[in-house]
Amino acid sequence: MTQKSKRHKKSQVWIHQHINDPWVQRAQAEGWRARAAFKLMEIDEKARLLKPGMAVVDLGAAPGSWCQYAAKRIQPGGRLIALDLLEMDGLPGVEFIQGDFREDEVLARLVASLGGRPIDLVLSDMAPNMSGIAATDQARVMYLTELALEFARAHLKPGGDMLVKVFQGAGFMQLRDEAMQLFETVQVKKPAASRDRSAETYLLGRKKRG
């Protein structure tokens, strides 16, 4: 079998599994933009992460299922600002900024949108386009997680929290240690909606050190 044929077969298997995934079916039935909403929902219900009046930044927000859930949980009085390189259809209670959050212009728009409010919570469900090459994909995921941690280090208020996607594998322990230096407590979360075969997990950092 050629490499192209193998990729095609893998793609066909993924599509079949995705269509028949009960979380995907539930998301479609309930009006969520993606099954990822249930990951945030479960973690929030157990950790009481989202509260009314919070200022929240969602990195890599598209297509917006985390925003859908979080925007409701932080009202009344909350602000949710979503950032992504990709376009995202509008959502009630969500301000979307398209661009790279590492760029000064995008950060300036974020600061202006916050209007002086400190950031209480950083969310990041960012993931790269997967190549199918494990070592490459792991490195790409870790890079995005590092970027999210750097953002939190620079912009999250002391005492604030962060929830970030990471893959278990090469570099995971070092990245967890880095998060433990930034937050008073760091927990590893694997919500039920994360596929069992996936290395995907989440780091929940509580109370950023001052």
Residue 66 assigned to a binding site:
yes
Residue 100 assigned to a binding site:
yes
d(CA 185, CA 197): 27
In sign, the C-alpha dihedral spanning 30, 34, 37, 38 is positive
CB within 8 A of 113, min separation 6: which ones?
79, 81, 95, 97
Residue 84 assigned to a binding site:
yes
Catalytic residue annotation: 165
d(CA 96, CA 98): 6
Task: Could you list the residues known to form a binding site for S-adenosyl-L-methionine, using ranges.
Answer: 64, 66, 84, 100, 125
Task: Could you list the residues known to form a binding site, using ranges.
Answer: 64, 66, 84, 100, 125
